[in-house]
Amino acid sequence: MQEITFRKPSDLHVHFRDGPMLAAVVPYTARDFRHALVMPNLVPPVTTTAMAAAYRERIMAAVPEGLDFTPLMTCYLTDDTDAGDLVAGFRDGVTVGAKLYPAHATTNSQHGVTNIRNIRDVLVAMADAGMPLLTHGERVRPDIDVFDREKFFIDEILVPTLEEIPTLRVVMEHITTADGALAARSFGDRVAATITPQHLLFNRNALFEGGLRPHLYCLPVLKREEHRLALRQAATSGLPNYLLGTDTAPHLRRDKEADCGCAGVFSAPVALEAYLQVFEEENALDRFERFATLNGAAFYRLEVPQETVTYVRRERYVAEQIEVGDQSVIPLHAGKSVGWSKLGAGAEH
- Residue number with CB closer to ligand NCD (264 or 305): 264
Using the rule CB under 5 A, is 150 a contact of Zn ion?
no
Residues 6+ positions from 17 with CB-CB distance below 8 Å: 25, 42, 250
218 binds, among Zn ion, ligand NCD, none (CB under 5 to 8 A by kind): ligand NCD
Dist. CA 307–CA 188, nearest whole Å: 29
Dist. CA 245–CA 259, nearest whole Å: 28
Residues 6+ positions from 171 with CB-CB distance below 8 Å: 12, 97, 132, 133, 134, 135, 191, 192, 193, 194, 243, 299
* CB 145, min distance to ligand NCD, A: 18
- Which residue's Cβ lies closest to Zn ion? 247
**By C-alpha distance, which of 144, 142, 135 is closest to 180?**
135
- Residue number with CB closer to ligand NCD (11 or 247): 247
Residues 305-334 that bind Zn ion (CB under 5 A): none
Using the rule CB under 5 A, is 11 a contact of Zn ion?
no
- Residue number with CB closer to ligand NCD (218 or 274): 218
159 binds, among Zn ion, ligand NCD, none (CB under 5 to 8 A by kind): none
Rounded to a whole number, what is the distance in angstroms from the first to the last CA of the chain?
23
* CB 109, min distance to ligand NCD, A: 7
Residues of this chain that interact with ligand NCD (CB under 6 A) are 15, 41, 106-107, 136, 218-219, 247, 249, 263-264
Q: What is the 3-state secondary structure (H, E, C) of 290-322?
A: HHHHHHHHHHHCCCCCCCEEEEECCCEECCCCE
184 binds, among Zn ion, ligand NCD, none (CB under 5 to 8 A by kind): none
**Maximum CA extent, the chain:** 52
SS3 196: coil
* CB 15, min distance to Zn ion, A: 6
264 binds, among ligand NCD, Zn ion, none (CB under 5 to 8 A by kind): ligand NCD
CB atoms within 10 A of CB 207: 17
* CB 308, min distance to Zn ion, A: 28
x/- track of binding to Zn ion for residues 202-241 (CB under 5 A): ----------------------------------------
* CB 7, min distance to ligand NCD, A: 26
> Which sign does the torsion angle of CA 298, 125, 195, 314 carry?
positive
Using the rule CB under 5 A, is 247 a contact of Zn ion?
yes
Dist. CA 254–CA 244, nearest whole Å: 29
| 247 counts as catalytic | yes
**Given 68, 128, 247, 286, the catalytic residue:** 247
Dist. CA 93–CA 295, nearest whole Å: 20
- Residue number with CB closer to ligand NCD (112 or 305): 112
Q: Which residues are catalytic?
A: 247
